[in-house]
Structures are given as structure tokens and as C-alpha cells.
């Protein structure tokens, strides 16, 4: 384990906020709810645009218009998901840090997913001006869709790789 990351995890676990969530009898489910609400909004709006680029669903508006309309809610969802995720992480940071599913999710899949999402969101303004989305736009939508599916899969696998069954 990298020394500074270990020190960071230990520090996070001992912050008053993390300790109070851990000791509270009611806070944890609300933190979970925050993470799930944010990630539903984020992943949901990402996938909506991806599917539209792929030509799936009713075409009430072009992918370019859809991307514009979803933009604000998309990034609000992201901020909520990150906040809730960080709070969940903070209560057992060292355990999560050692977890291969968590490391794959946070260290590989999410960074790639965010970069790809920014590219897709920007390019959708060009690719999605009409209903004839070019093949590259459809492919980018498909890849982004599969990436977020992988993030969710890695997240769901976190408890199965946990060294600490509690
Ligand atoms: C924005 C993209 C993200 C998505 C799509 C996502 C997805 C998920 C999902 C689906 C779960 C539920 C797993 C389950 O209970 O079955 C989960 C749990 C969790 N997430 Fe995230 N997450 C994201 C970001 C983050 C970030 C940035 C962090 C940390 C900084 C994080 C930390 C956690 C933790 C600690 C859990 C609880 C794992 C457990 O003990 O079961 N997530 N996430």
C-alpha cells in the first residue's frame, strides 16, 4: 500500500464526520440513500443519452437537444453521488482501499468513464444534430453504456471481496 494513501485512509476514517456516521444508529442508511440517489441520476441520464445516440427509444428530440436538456441534472447527480460515495468510503476507508472491486471501480473504471462521458457529452452536440448519428457516435454511446454497467457491477461486487465480513 502506498504510504500516503494509507495515511490518507487512516486520516479519513478518524475525521469527526466519519466517526459520527459510524457511531450513529440512523445516519448510515441516509448516506447510502444519498449515494444511490446521486448515482441513479448520474447513470440514468448518462444511459439515456447513450441510448439516444445508439438510436434506441422514441425520438422526441435529437441527441444534441437531449444532451443539452439533461446537462444540469446529469452533473448534479454526479456531485451527489461523489459526496455520498466519499462518505460511505470514509467510514471504512482502509478496508475499502484493500478491496479489489472497490479499487477497480474507483481507480480504473470511474476515471475512464468520466473522461469518456465528457467527450460523449461534448461530441453529442455534433453527432446528434439529426437522427442520423454517425457510426462513431453510436459506438461511443455503446462503450459509455458498457462502462457504467461495469462500474455498477464492480460496486455490487465490493461486499463479495471484503476481507471484513462485518
Ligand atoms: C459516480 C459514479 C459511481 C457509481 C455509478 C457508483 C455505484 C455504486 C453502486 C451501484 C453501489 C451499491 C453497491 C451495493 O450495495 O450493492 C455503490 C456503493 C458504494 N460506493 Fe459507489 N458509485 C460511484 C462513485 C463512488 C465514489 C466516487 C466512491 C468513493 C469515493 C464510492 C464509494 C462507494 C462505497 C464505499 C460503496 C459501498 C460498498 C459496500 O460496502 O457495499 N462510489 N456505488
| Whether residue 97 has its Cβ less than 6 Å from ligand 1 | no
| Whether residue 154 has its Cβ less than 6 Å from ligand 1 | no
Q: Residue holding cell 466519519?
A: 18
| Whether residue 80 has its Cβ less than 6 Å from ligand 1 | no
Task: Say how many CA atoms lie within 13 Å of 130 toward its Cβ.
Answer: 2
**DSSP letter for each residue of 45-77:** HHHHHHHHHHT-S--SS-HHHHHHHHHHHHHHH
Ligand 1 center from residue 146 Cα (angstroms): 17
| Whether residue 158 has its Cβ less than 6 Å from ligand 1 | yes
| Whether residue 91 has its Cβ less than 6 Å from ligand 1 | no
pTM: 0.93
| Whether residue 127 has its Cβ less than 6 Å from ligand 1 | no
What lies within 8 Å, CB to CB, of 113 at 6+ separation is 144, 147, 148, 151
Q: pLDDT digits over 20-58, tens only?
A: 999 999 999 999 999 999 999 999 999 999 999 999 987
Atom of ligand 1 nearest to the CA of 162: 40
How many whole angstroms from its chain centre is CA 84? 11
| Whether residue 96 has its Cβ less than 6 Å from ligand 1 | yes
Ligand 1 center from residue 2 Cα (angstroms): 22
Rounded Cα gap, residues 114 and 161, in angstroms: 24
Taking only the tens of pLDDT, the chain with its 166 residues reads: 578 988 999 999 999 999 999 999 999 999 999 999 999 999 999 999 999 999 998 778 999 999 999 999 999 999 999 999 999 999 999 999 999 999 999 999 999 999 999 999 999 999 999 989 999 999 999 999 999 999 999 999 999 997 655 4
Domain positions in the chain are: 3-161
Amino acid at each position: 500500500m502506498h504510504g500516503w494513501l494509507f495515511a490518507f485512509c487512516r486520516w479519513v476514517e478518524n475525521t469527526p464526520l466519519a466517526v459520527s456516521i459510524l457511531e450513529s444508529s440512523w445516519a448510515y442508511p441516509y448516506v447510502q440513500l444519498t449515494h444511490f440517489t446521486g448515482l441513479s441520476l448520474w447513470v440514468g441520464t448518462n444511459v439515456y443519452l447513450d441510448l439516444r445516440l445508439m438510436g434506441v427509444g422514441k425520438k422526441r428530440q435529437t441527441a444534441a437537444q437531449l444532451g443539452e436538456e439533461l446537462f444540469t441534472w446529469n452533473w448534479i447527480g454526479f456531485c451527489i453521488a461523489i459526496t455520498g460515495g466519499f462518505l460511505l468510503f470514509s467510514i471504512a476507508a482502509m478496508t475499502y482501499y484493500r478491496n479489489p472491486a472497490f479499487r477497480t471501480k474507483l481507480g480504473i473504471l470511474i476515471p475512464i468513464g468520466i473522461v469518456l462521458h465528457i467527450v460523449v457529452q461534448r461530441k453529442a452536440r455534433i453527432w446528434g444534430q439529426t437522427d442520423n448519428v454517425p457510426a462513431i457516435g453510436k459506438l461511443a454511446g455503446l462503450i459509455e453504456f458498457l462502462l457504467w454497467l461495469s462500474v455498477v457491477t464492480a460496486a455490487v461486487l465490493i461486499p463479495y471481496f471484503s476481507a471484513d465480513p462485518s
